[in-house]
Structure 1
Amino acid sequence: MSYSTFIQPKEAFENLQNPNFLFVDCSYSLADKSWGAEEYKKAHLPGALYADLHDDLSGEIITGKTSRHPLPQKEALVKFFSKLGIDKNVQVVAYDATAGFMAAARLWWLLRWAGHEKVAVLNGGKGAWQHAGYPLTADSSPAQPKEFIATFNDTMLASAAEVMASIKSGNNCLIDSRTADRYAGQNETIDPVAGHISTAISKPFNAKIGKTGVAEPSVYKEHFKDEYAKGNVVFYCGSGVTAAYNVLLAVYGGYPLPKLYAGSWSEWITDAARPIVTGA
């Protein structure tokens, strides 16, 4: 059996010794870039490798042009996935330290973009795993490199130009995945400009997530029903990371893969001519 959205801790534990399963710790904190790696060193799932959001799952930041977490170059991403030991037979299980799945969802999205569908996020993260009584370790395991063969699907992406065109034509449903206050232009402490992209709807990434993880798929089917009824759904957030979480939830709810505006708000505001709005 393969998993393509979420995997429960019990299912993951039952495959802990499965040679075709690869566990990847993606723990990360925007407030402290070194926190995730240190957290991994302290305690992680046995055999898990580490993927750093900033160093491994993002590309080069070009001030004034890119987002805070631009997508990696395709060649670099293929090299990294090969280094981790991912090939077509490997089931990847990504997880975060908490139930928020921020960076784990980013790894999930990147693998799907690269054509690898056997990737799932551990529901509830490391916390749920530990709560279930399953083991953690500080021992590191060496990677077993394999050849990752990518088939990138760029139809999963929307560019800033496409978003601008959709604003003018009204033929897209644009969803802002940040918290409601940042969408409204309040309490903006990360980006230099506050507000949201014109016409965007607020659907915070954490609106339907509990301390123990996600609910049944039907919850997310209902959550995104009105947006998908409009068609041509595009998700964005601050830098393309938490939006991947909303994309994951939508697919988990049974919807087809929507587009991601990966540059998101932090790229959008690099051009003063792009329309922004403040207020709920």
Structure 2
Amino acid sequence: MTALLIQPEALRERLTRPGCLVFDVRHDLADHQAGRRAYEAGHIPGALYLDHETQLCALKTGRNGRHPLPDRADFAALMRAQGLTARTDVVVYDAGNAMFAAHLWWMLRWLGHESVSVLDGGWAAWLAAGGAVETGARAPSLSEAQAIQGLVLSGKPSMPVVDARAVLSNLDEPRFTVLDARAPERFSGAVEPIDPVPGHIPGALNRPFERNLGPDGRFKPAAELRAEFESLLGGRLDRGIVHQCGSGITACHNLFAMELAGLRGSALYPGSWSEWCADAARPVAKGD
């Protein structure tokens, strides 16, 4: 089984062998061009850039969240165009805290591609380790073998998702626990800098995604993560966890951290708070 995390030194060695795709998904929610500018100014040699606003989400309607999940067939076509085949090893990275890298990791797993790792510490760790830097833009270069092998889309998503209707029905008949990855002040409703309505989904618990990282910006050891999630969730783990955040991105960070901890099987609510609060009929809770 492919390791969920890869260290810069291991990635440097992996790049000397064929069959590896590296994706740079650095992004800034307040400046949607910042990620591409950073990529062109310097990236891991051979890395391709993917944009969270234009490539990794579906068309936004104003009611389906800020980063609606694309159709799986459309996403599969995008990844085929990048050169992904069933035999390809994939490494994804962002600026450093893995919030965007974990999201693409989840999307690839949802597509059915198992061989995908997150660069621990991201671009910052690569530079700190003395990794080589390539500048400018790079386009996918498909070999004849890649074109022949292609990418076969599995019939059923490999990572479970739930929609707003399922979350709403769960309020009256709880079958799972919703875990919110946003900052405590956003969860409580004290502030809301992005979405039009403050607060959280009633009954949800809060686990800010930054708590999955150590002071060095890398993921905490698996045993430490497991202890923290078990302390927060307790017996709720047995009945299922559904992750959410503002728009389905940092929720994947908590889901990834639980996978690291050996707590597998969580689901994602992709629309998250930005979709939930777009309908005034859905209830809103405030406070801790």
Q: Under a length normalisation based on structure 2, what TM-score does the superposition of the two structures give? A: 0.92
Q: How much does 1:97 deviate?
A: 1.5
Q: Kindly provide the amino acid, as one letter, of the partner of residue 68 in structure 2.
A: P
Q: How much does 1:228 deviate?
A: 6.1
Equivalent in the alignment of 1:66: 64
Regions of 4+ moved over 3 Å: 139-142
Q: How much does 1:262 deviate?
A: 0.5
Equivalent in the alignment of 1:5: 4
* Deviation string, structure 1 residues 86-128 (Cα, Å, up to 9, x no partner): 1111110000012x11211111011010100101110000100
Equivalent in the alignment of 1:133: 130
CA contact (8 A) 2:213 2:219 kept: yes
Q: How much does 1:269 deviate?
A: 0.9
Which of 169, 179, 186 lines up with 1:182 in the alignment?
Answer: 186
- Equivalent residue of 2:210, what SS? coil
- Equivalent residue of 2:52, what SS? coil
Q: Bigger CA drift: 143-152 or 217-226?
A: 143-152
Which of 101, 115, 119 lines up with 2:116 in the alignment?
Answer: 119
CA contact (8 A) 1:97 1:125 kept: yes
- Equivalent residue of 1:196, what SS? coil
Which of 145, 150, 154 lines up with 2:153 in the alignment?
Answer: 150
Equivalent in the alignment of 1:224: 229
Equivalent in the alignment of 1:23: 22
Q: Bigger CA drift: 219-228 or 161-170?
A: 219-228
Q: How much does 1:141 deviate?
A: 3.8
Equivalent in the alignment of 1:86: 84
CA contact (8 A) 2:111 2:153 kept: yes
Structure 1 runs not aligned, ≥5 long: none
Equivalent in the alignment of 1:37: 36
- Flag the 1:217–1:138 CA change in 2: closer, same or farther, 3 A: same
Q: CA RMSD in A?
A: 1.4
Q: How much does 1:225 deviate?
A: 1.2
Number of residue pairs matched by the alignment: 277
- Equivalent residue of 1:94, what SS? strand
Equivalent in the alignment of 1:247: 255
Equivalent-residue separation in structure 1 for 2:53 and 2:101 (angstroms)? 13
* Deviation string, structure 1 residues 62-105 (Cα, Å, up to 9, x no partner): 01x2100000122220111001111111110000012x112111
Equivalent-residue separation in structure 1 for 2:93 and 2:244 (angstroms)? 21
Equivalent-residue separation in structure 2 for 1:158 and 1:62 (angstroms)? 19
Equivalent-residue separation in structure 1 for 2:48 and 2:252 (angstroms)? 21
- Flag the 1:26–1:11 CA change in 2: closer, same or farther, 3 A: same
* Deviation string, structure 1 residues 208-250 (Cα, Å, up to 9, x no partner): 3133311211111112114263121001000001101111111
Structure 2 runs not aligned, ≥5 long: none
CA contact (8 A) 1:57 1:106 kept: no
Equivalent-residue separation in structure 1 for 2:141 and 2:105 (angstroms)? 20
* Deviation string, structure 1 residues 154-201 (Cα, Å, up to 9, x no partner): 761011111111111122111011011100102211000000000000
Whether 2:101 is the aligned partner of 1:107: answer: no
Q: Kindly provide the amino acid, as one letter, of the partner of residue 112 in structure 1.
A: R
* Deviation string, structure 1 residues 18-48 (Cα, Å, up to 9, x no partner): 2111110000000100000000000000000
CA contact (8 A) 1:46 1:139 kept: no
- Equivalent residue of 1:190, what SS? coil
Q: How much does 1:142 deviate?
A: 3.6
Identity %: 34
CA contact (8 A) 2:106 2:159 kept: no
